[in-house]
Amino acid sequence: MLAAAPDSREQLYEAICHQHGGYWRHHFVDHAYLYNLYFPPQPFFNQLTKHIHELVQNYPVGQEILAGLVGDLIAQSPSNIIVGNGAAELIKIVSAHLAHRLIVPVPSFNEYANAAPPGQVVEFHLDPPTFQLNVDQFAAEAIRCKADVAVVVTPNNPTSIRVPKVDLMRLLQKLAQHNCILIVDESFLDFAPDGHRQSLEGEVHRYPNLAILKSMSKAYGICGLRIGYMLTANASLHAHVSAGLHIWNLNGFAEAFLRAISTFRQEFAESCRKVRSDRDLLFKELSLIEGVTVFKPDANFVFCRLSSQALSGPELTRRLFIEHNIYIKHCQGKTLPESERYIRVASRTPSENQIIARTIRDILVSETT
């Protein structure tokens, strides 16, 4: 725990709740942000350090070369790829400037809805206790409201639940008949069991109404480099999104990563295996806590519901930070019933996962004795 007076810990907690990064400067254990702790490997950082003067002093490359680098990595044509300054840049263009009526299952990653103009988003509610997406009902609602863009995040955030590929293919075919583009956000799919085979990236050439969006920050552990991409064979969509980018939208450090990443394929695969193993341990440990319903995760985080007799999510989150220097995300404010009862816990190392599970259990037990 940080050596600080109670009021300064409270102030720091309130400040952290309104930040969107820079957590490392405050030296707490971050079970909130969702990224791969085991990648990139040290040799990449050695390469970066070796060329740091050139990277700082020179202009980076533009979109054509960046698309080629991502294309080499994912074995796709560069002509179908747009590389963004994080997925957030691409989401902003689609939601704010391209979609006339966007439909998204909720709860989900808020940025798709937040980036859209008022009145242009339709929320499709995922019902507890399973939070599974019924793609037939989702398609029917998209058609009814005349949506031109539908978004599915898989595995979803915050539920950590994956939508099966077979269901997404059925959804894709239904929407194709009504001129609705399906954006499948696969930012966490590398952490799902058999994630590579579940990806729809191999289907883009068959379906012009399909776009894959991926934040590389999560899977590759490069939140500070800000790299994301969109993959689509839809020439019109590609052109409109590309038109929203400025000429140097990625910096030289991001370019250096894309140039190096292909040499670390094996290390990346092993890092994802470690993340899955650690995540499964966290799921097991949290499942042992009385009064906590834990949803089986497909991503690198675990979604939990606190019982009505337990502390609320915001109360638990506050106590974890102030008393134990651990930060998680509560889901109050998300679009779901009793949102204050839900929390999202990012997986870290095995020892840290055991500590947070034990700490949550001790806090909840102390409230009932």
Structural domains of the chain sorted by starting position, each given as residue range(s) with its CATH number in brackets: 6-40+266-368 (3.90.1150.10), 42-262 (3.40.640.10)
Is 36 within 8 Å of 301 (Cβ atoms)?
no
pLDDT at 369: 65
pLDDT digits (tens, 9 = 90+) for 275-315: 999 999 999 999 999 999 999 999 999 999 999 999 999 99
- pLDDT of 66 reads 98
- How high is the pLDDT of residue 6? 43
Task: Pick 8 or 168 by higher pLDDT.
Answer: 168
Which tokens hold the place of 221? 């552990």
Tens of pLDDT, residues 58-78: 999 999 999 999 999 999 999
The percentage of residues in the chain with a pLDDT greater than 90, rounded to a whole number, is: 96
What's the confidence (pLDDT) of residue 5? 42
For β-strands 102-106 and 121-125, DSSP reports them as parallel
Higher confidence at residue 27 or residue 8? Answer: 27
Model confidence, pTM: 0.95
pLDDT at residue 367, as a whole number: 80
Residue 7 has a pLDDT of 59
Q: Would you say residue 127 has pLDDT above 60? A: yes
Q: What is the pLDDT of residue 240?
A: 97
Question: Would you state the pLDDT for residue 213?
Answer: 98
What does the mean pLDDT of the chain come to?
Answer: 95
At residue 3, does pLDDT exceed 90?
no
pLDDT of residue 4: 44
Which DSSP string do the residues of 29-84 spell out, in sequence order?
A: EE-SS---TT-S-HHHHHHHHHTHHHHHHS----HHHHHHHHHHHHT--GGGEEEE
